[in-house]
Structure 1
């Protein structure tokens, strides 16, 4: 796949800007806070409808404007697609594909795929379980766009169930109408079932994608570390999935809810489900979070990103875009060479950097280089 162009209107610090991609490799050069990462974020939004930097659309709109827009043209094996996202403040975003407005996000996803690697990705190792769950979900959305509606449905059920648990706790504390409590508990049983059904779909897919990406990442890690270190990636589901049959996972879900019934009522929140999952990362059988040096952690994240590229290409049949946000300066020469060697001409790559000295002459000659300054792009 190849992103031919991107147009930004009142997006972040861009008033109106068009970038036509004229090479397989594009280098965005500029000082910090000029808009380099904003351009990568726009591509990320076209690919996943998510930003790893914010959950609020109003943050994406140029200050003083009420509407922002990203337009892009992508060429695939099966043809060309024009994509568009319009953000409103206030109001809901709207999506467009080939000049037609879409009613469902599902119709938009899957037309462009991208893997981003930034210095923030070290949070995969150091950060909270929520960071690793978000990474997993973003990967799944690219591999299987229907997963976006699956995780949204689970989160919707979770919110409604949590709201009911708060009502139940208030009823118990006030010791009011026992008939109300009985009705609320009956209602909770219905939400238990819905949470188990939706959660099972999430858990099984997360388990499968970890099973697929783990050996790929482990092989990359072995190669980058010259065989001196062993990486392990383990899925730690909140629900036991010794057997992966949907009915068995769902029953395990319901059994655990029953076991934690009192805790949930006291805390007035759901403590069972994939919103409590984690992914375990180990180097030489030791948790990378507590043991790995910064260099080891960078190697681990690089291996995961290379595995993402490989897995997406295997599943969709085309190489995804690679977005590198100021990471070359963070990598030592060995890791830089590993990454640049893998890229070659295989992936369309957009790289942000503050300096060009990280690239060899051949790379610079074969790259489109754009200067980014105050939300404006200049050809170099």
Structure 2
């Protein structure tokens, strides 16, 4: 797939900006806080309807404006598609394909596929379980767009169950209460769908990531990725998982009533990353942690390409500065012209002449993008 153009209106610090992409690799050069990352964020939103910065929609709209819009033209094997995402300050979003508004946002997902790799992704290793869950969920949305709906259903049940627990926190509510049993059953049903898909995705991703990791580390380190759900996952059969889910809820029922929150479910799951059988967050240098994240991102690219049948876009947000020359070369060699790549950087020193000659170079300053440096 190839992103031919993007048009931003009142988005972040862009008032009105059209960019036409003319090469497989586009390098966006500029000082910090000029808008380089904002452009990549716009592409990420078109791919996943999420921002890794976790901003609210109103934070994406220029001050004083009620709405912003991202419009893009995408070339795929099946033809050219026009994508439009409109964000409003009141939180209501609309999406359109080829100028036709879609009733379900889920139908917008899967049209454009992209993998984002930023310096924030180093928190995948160092940060808490929530970072890894978000990473896995974002990948799954692209592999299987219906997962966005499944996750939304689970989160809705979770919110309602938490509200019920909080409301009855100080009451003499029985764990056998019929309304609580209803929420338990819904949580187990929707949670099982999330757990099964996460498990399946990691089983496909893990061997690809292991191969990349071995290649980058010179086979000196063995990477293992394990999915650790809060519900025992002996087998991937929905009935068995649901039963295990309900049994675990019963075990934690008194603690849940006391704390007024749900203690069992996919919102408590962990993705365990280990190198040479040691937890990666405790393991070795920052360089080794960066190798792991690089392997995960290259695995994401490969897996999406295998599932979708076309190479996704790669968005590299100021990440080369975080990698030493050896890892930079590994990454740049893996990309070549296989993936359309948008790269942000503060200077062009990381790129050799071959890369620079085959790339479109754009300069970003104060929310304006041009093909010549602004002085």
- Alignment TM-score, normalising by the size of structure 2: 0.97
Q: Give how far 1:291 is off.
A: 2.0
Q: C-alpha distance in 2, partners of 1:55/1:372?
A: 22
Q: Give how far 1:55 is off.
A: 3.5
Q: Give how far 1:90 is off.
A: 2.3
Q: Which residue of 1 aligns with 2:235?
A: 243
User: Contact 1:164/1:184 (CA < 8 Å) preserved in 2?
Assistant: no
Q: C-alpha distance in 1, partners of 2:175/2:115?
A: 48
Q: C-alpha distance in 1, partners of 2:352/2:193?
A: 47
User: Contact 2:57/2:91 (CA < 8 Å) preserved in 1?
Assistant: no
Q: Which residue of 2 aligns with 1:145?
A: 145
- Change beyond 3 A, Cα 1:299–1:183: closer
User: Contact 1:283/1:292 (CA < 8 Å) preserved in 2?
Assistant: no
Q: Which residue of 2 aligns with 1:325?
A: 317
Matches within 5 A, 1:183-262: 185-262=177-254
Q: Which residue of 1 aligns with 2:288?
A: 296
Residue 112, structure 1, aligned to residue 104, structure 2: no
In structure 1, the gaps of 5 or more residues are 173-180
User: Contact 2:10/2:69 (CA < 8 Å) preserved in 1?
Assistant: yes
User: Contact 2:362/2:370 (CA < 8 Å) preserved in 1?
Assistant: yes
Residue 6, structure 1, aligned to residue 19, structure 2: no
Q: Which residue of 2 aligns with 1:83?
A: 83
Q: C-alpha distance in 2, partners of 1:148/1:252?
A: 24
Q: C-alpha distance in 1, partners of 2:168/2:62?
A: 43
Give runs of ≥4 in structure 1 deviating > 4 Å. Answer: 181-184
Secondary structure of 1:32's partner? coil
User: Contact 1:168/1:184 (CA < 8 Å) preserved in 2?
Assistant: no
In structure 2, the gaps of 5 or more residues are none
Q: C-alpha distance in 2, partners of 1:85/1:137?
A: 21
User: Contact 2:58/2:91 (CA < 8 Å) preserved in 1?
Assistant: no
Residue 281, structure 1, aligned to residue 276, structure 2: no
Q: Give how far 1:54 is off.
A: 2.5
Superposed CA deviations along residues 146-183 of structure 1, whole A, max 9, x for unmatched, are 000000000000000111111222323xxxxxxxx469
Q: C-alpha distance in 1, partners of 2:321/2:198?
A: 32
- Change beyond 3 A, Cα 1:170–1:184: farther
**Count of paired positions:** 372
